Amino acid sequence: MTKVILDLDSFKALSSDTRVDILKALDGKKMGLNDLCKETQLTKATMHEHLTKLIQAGLIKKNQRDGHKWVYYKLSWKGSSLLHPENTRVMLLFATTVIALTAAITGFFMHLQQYLPQAAQKEGMALAENDSALKAPLFYEGGRELITQSQLFLGIGIVCGIIFVTFLTLSIWRYTKNKEQKL
């Protein structure tokens, strides 16, 4: 399980069941003072006092736009991590998924570059000197070629594509599983 580090202010803020209920009410949404009062059955003065302590502890954020009179409250990353301690792991999975997708696209693009010079030559365009490098063998065994650079890039693209699909599926599964409150 992921560790959530709390300071003294956080412990003081969480010592009240009412404040924990406020955190649970704010889970996944932003709410105004009136909405929070209705959901928790507290007066505005009491709610304001609890919200002030939660803001000081860094568990919630106060969103107030210039020129608007409404103030909204939502969980901070720290507050969200209390209710859903796996958030950091899910974010790392999503980041790895994006890296795998980028590598897959790059591998496929590099493989397809071997076909671009042929199309350019048919249209009468000049070829660069290193265009044939993709077709040159990279590895030999017993005098015969095993793999070309283009085949290597295709293999990398396929492997990274499989990793992308696997990590994307795992990330989505973890994200939906993480929606349940742990506090």
Q: What CATH code is carried by the domain that includes residue 50?
A: 1.10.10.10
What's the pLDDT at 129? 47
In this structure, are 159 and 141 located in the same domain? yes
Query: Could you give the CA distance from residue 178 to residue 85 in angstroms, rounded to a whole number?
Result: 8
Domain of residue 47, residue span: 8-82
In this structure, are 44 and 121 located in the same domain? no
Domain boundary residue among 34, 50, 82? Answer: 82
In this structure, are 164 and 92 located in the same domain? yes
* 93 residue type, one letter: L
Domain boundary residue among 82, 110, 135? Answer: 82
Q: Domain total for the chain? A: 2
Query: Could you give the CA distance from residue 98 to residue 111 in angstroms, rounded to a whole number?
Result: 20
Domain boundary residue among 59, 82, 105? Answer: 82
User: Which regions of the chain are under pLDDT 50?
Assistant: 127-130
What's the pLDDT at 2? 55
The predicted model scores a pTM of 0.54
In this structure, are 44 and 102 located in the same domain? no
In this structure, are 46 and 15 located in the same domain? yes
In this structure, are 103 and 167 located in the same domain? yes
CB-CB contact of 131 with 121 (8 Å): no
In this structure, are 108 and 170 located in the same domain? yes
Q: What angle do CA 109, 122, 119 make, to 5 degrees?
A: 10
Show contacts of 97-101: CB within 8 Å, 24+ apart: 97/164, 97/167, 97/168, 97/171, 100/160, 100/161, 100/163, 100/164, 100/167, 101/160, 101/164
